Structure 1
Amino acid sequence: MARWKKYLMFLLIFILFIVPANFFTGSLLFKSSNSHGLSNDYYIVENGRPMILIRNICSMIGAGIEWNKDTKEILCTKGIVEIKMALKSETVYVNGVAKSLDAAIQVKGGKALVPLSFPWKDMNIGVSWNAKKKSLTVTKGPIVFFGDSLTQGFGLKKYFTSGNLINKGVSANTTKDALKRVNDVIGNKPDKVFIMLGTNDIWTLREEEDIMDNYNEIINKIRSACPYVEIIVQSVLPMGKNALARNPDVSNKGIESLNTRIKDMVKVCSLKYVDIGILLKDKNGNMSDKYTKDGVHINSSAYDLWAKKIKDMVQ
């Protein structure tokens, strides 16, 4: 067997038996390995203490990171949390508030390294070092899905490999109902929140202005309590002809108008917007019969499309 084939086989065995199973889930454990350099992707050890490659960790946890060549500063962002730092400094600024580190920020090989005392908790991230095992553990909060019966019926574990998913969908909920129980979301200290609300508001003919007031208050409450959270707002789904026949005061034009308002809110608040409804429409702009029986609730084929659309975000 050629040398490269032997090496490839050894590498596959290493991945299967050395890298822990939770490497691929919401709780990430990275073990040091001099022979394969796995540790060098995330940290190096100096004088018995880890120094962590900030860009790689930020990429892993979904945080933004930028280098300002003019001020020679690094800006790390997660949600509305901004952490500003300068090279060779032992002080970082979290939304303008100074916090001290136990070692200065370093640069090696063109990459910035920060000590374990970096304010990870401000981004709702747990980072710990086991000196005996020489292993770094990184944990983050759960991903919460918040909505009505459409969300409640979403079998998350069927579609996503992340083991830290919470479904907070409740049948018949309006935005007003969801606002009353938003603490159910906040109490989980989520890393991400996916929101889909508005169908029952439309069905009960609630004024668009009231819906948007509730939406804004939901967003503000989540952000105020969890400034590190990433919020993904999903479109209100169109209704099928069966639902429109039962409630002639409802129209998909009204849903389109609400979605336009929601998109405007998302832009102003610097959130993410995902149009799920466009995946389910027929040529007339109604929800296609192949995705629904009653014109409101969706079947497994629709959930398949929904899951595929957001799959890369659920990690």
Structure 2
Amino acid sequence: MRIENFLCGALMSLCAMSFAAGDGELAVKPMLLPADCSTSRPATATIDRIVIHFSSDAKKNPDNPFDPEQNSRVMAEYKVSAHYMIDRDGTVYQLVPEANCAKHLGKDSSLLFDKVTSGVLGDRSVGIELLAVGSEKDMVPGIMTAEEYGAFKEKHPGFIGYTDAQYSSLDKLIAQISSRHPDIKRDRAHIVGHSDCAPDKRNEPGELFDWSRLGLAKYAPLQRERGYRGVNMNSYNIFWRNMRFEQIWKRLTELGPTSRTVVMLGDSITEGFPEKDIDGYTIVNEGINSDSIDHPTLPIGIIRRLDLIKLAHPEHIFFLIGINDICDNETPDDLEPQFIETYDALKTTFPNVKIHITPIFPVAKQYKHRNPVIDEMNVRIRRLAEERGFDIMDLTPLLKDSEGNMKEELTLDGVHVNNDTYKLWISAVSDKLKASEK
């Protein structure tokens, strides 16, 4: 969980509880947060996931960033929460009863926040917050500036990373929670980090977290044990990617035998595109949150779900991808071979389909350090598209302000776009479809 300055906490209670948890007893101190920091968990929900986060008050209180009471006040102020918080000395605080849903995914984690808290991961999970400060990659620029982090690390090198006591308590706490919820298996499909759920927005518990201390692998598996209806599942995150796959499959089964289809292909920005008919064409939205052009170590990426596109039998494919890769600090040199591979696969797989490439949207001022990379990558995207005979549908001139950033009136959070942008996008798609009929 991450808020610009942030961290966790709760209202105080002095009594302690002990629970049998694996080897030895684990003391858990109640520190319950106000009621508006959580919601009721549906009676039908099955708890089958644990999500691990980190937080601290390092930006505002660099000399005392791990005070549980202060972190609890920040959490209460922002009306966010986790079920448990683990202090540097291994003390475990319960912030929210497991019978409730903690607000540990954050409204800024993705456009799928409402879906997550209303029926997917939020209903099914227990959140654990570790008081810690991550690496520079984990902290900059989302929480601290590079200068702030450098000064903090120089003055308090021992505050960086996690403690032995935290790993010990976390191991016992996981065992304790799992004993109450047997659907939580001791593997990386069920015990995950926030970054496994929202890799485009979060890097928690971060690169300094040692999963082997819990007897677990570093990376979560991003695939089911089997395929689904003959389609490779490697592209789908085990949480909302599977949910999105089910939604897309349902949409495909609803298509009539004479439907003229248009596939909107991409990530969460595309996922928000309205699935309404345009000029007699049926829109099939195959945007999937947090997807990327490819990934060097994880089995995700557009190229791994071409079979799903085939099922739509599209006449047109409109393709926008890349912001998650750039937010993962990949460079244009890293990305160009991945775009080449994906574009070539699309051209080979869909030789008679009109493919429209949309360059990556700019981001707003608060993330402006990303825009030079986006601009450079877009130069390459246009060139690669032209070399393959793809059409280019460039919306960036409509989205940029005078400084080259996303116009504030067109974005929800600086990255994702609002309804005004989707109206512009729909109009551009309509123009392309009409032009193809001439």
Mapped to 2, the partners of 1:231 and 1:299 lie a distance apart of: 25
Could you say what secondary structure the match of 1:179 adopts? helix
Residue among 294, 297, 308 paired with 2:413: 294
Q: CA deviation at 1:147?
A: 0.3
Indicate whether 1:175 and 2:293 are aligned.
yes
Could you say what secondary structure the match of 1:144 adopts? strand
One-letter identity of the residue aligned with 2:282? N
The equivalent residue for 2:427 is: 308
| CA shift digits 1:280-313 (9 cap, x unpaired) | 1111000011111311001111111111122122
Residue among 265, 275, 299 paired with 1:156: 275
One-letter identity of the residue aligned with 1:160? I
Q: CA deviation at 1:274?
A: 1.3
User: Any conservation in 2 of the 1:186–1:222 contact (CA below 8 Å)?
Assistant: no
Could you say what secondary structure the match of 1:232 adopts? strand
Mapped to 2, the partners of 1:293 and 1:228 lie a distance apart of: 36
Residue among 311, 315, 340 paired with 1:216: 340
CA RMSD of aligned residues (A): 2.0
Alignment of 1:5-44 (within 5 A): none
User: Any conservation in 2 of the 1:174–1:201 contact (CA below 8 Å)?
Assistant: yes
The equivalent residue for 1:196 is: 320
Moved more, 138-147 or 163-172: 138-147
Which 4+ stretches in 1 moved above 4 angstroms? 138-141
Mapped to 1, the partners of 2:281 and 2:317 lie a distance apart of: 15
One-letter identity of the residue aligned with 2:313? K
Q: CA deviation at 1:140?
A: 6.9
Alignment of 1:126-145 (within 5 A): 141-145=260-264
User: Any conservation in 2 of the 1:145–1:167 contact (CA below 8 Å)?
Assistant: yes
One-letter identity of the residue aligned with 2:312? N
Mapped to 1, the partners of 2:349 and 2:411 lie a distance apart of: 37
Could you say what secondary structure the match of 1:182 adopts? helix
| CA shift digits 1:240-272 (9 cap, x unpaired) | 01334xxxxx42111111000011111111111
Alignment of 1:29-108 (within 5 A): none
Mapped to 1, the partners of 2:355 and 2:274 lie a distance apart of: 20
TM-score, structure 1 as length reference: 0.51
Could you say what secondary structure the match of 2:317 adopts? strand
* Paired positions, count: 172
The equivalent residue for 2:394 is: 275
User: Any conservation in 1 of the 2:279–2:430 contact (CA below 8 Å)?
Assistant: no
Instruction: Provide structure 2 residue ranges, at least 5 long, that are not aligned to the other structure.
Output: 1-256, 295-300
Q: CA deviation at 1:163?
A: 4.3
| CA shift digits 1:9-56 (9 cap, x unpaired) | xxxxxxxxxxxxxxxxxxxxxxxxxxxxxxxxxxxxxxxxxxxxxxxx
One-letter identity of the residue aligned with 2:405? N
Mapped to 1, the partners of 2:336 and 2:310 lie a distance apart of: 20
Mapped to 2, the partners of 1:200 and 1:185 lie a distance apart of: 21
Seq. identity, %: 28
Mapped to 1, the partners of 2:343 and 2:336 lie a distance apart of: 10
Could you say what secondary structure the match of 2:285 adopts? strand
Mapped to 2, the partners of 1:166 and 1:259 lie a distance apart of: 25
The equivalent residue for 2:25 is: none
Moved more, 211-220 or 232-241: 211-220
One-letter identity of the residue aligned with 2:314? P
Instruction: Provide structure 1 residue ranges, at least 5 long, that are not aligned to the other structure.
Output: 1-137, 245-249
Moved more, 185-194 or 267-276: 185-194
Mapped to 1, the partners of 2:314 and 2:380 lie a distance apart of: 25
Could you say what secondary structure the match of 1:156 adopts? coil
Which protein has the bigger strand share? 1
Mapped to 2, the partners of 1:308 and 1:141 lie a distance apart of: 18
Mapped to 2, the partners of 1:225 and 1:163 lie a distance apart of: 21
Q: CA deviation at 1:227?
A: 1.2
Mapped to 2, the partners of 1:218 and 1:140 lie a distance apart of: 26
User: Any conservation in 1 of the 2:267–2:321 contact (CA below 8 Å)?
Assistant: yes
Indicate whether 1:242 and 2:392 are aligned.
no
Mapped to 2, the partners of 1:207 and 1:309 lie a distance apart of: 29
Residue among 225, 235, 238 paired with 2:349: 225
User: Any conservation in 1 of the 2:363–2:371 contact (CA below 8 Å)?
Assistant: yes
Mapped to 1, the partners of 2:310 and 2:332 lie a distance apart of: 25
Q: CA deviation at 1:165?
A: 1.6
Indicate whether 1:187 and 2:306 are aligned.
no
Mapped to 1, the partners of 2:281 and 2:315 lie a distance apart of: 13
One-letter identity of the residue aligned with 2:290? A
Mapped to 2, the partners of 1:279 and 1:263 lie a distance apart of: 17
Mapped to 1, the partners of 2:350 and 2:303 lie a distance apart of: 15
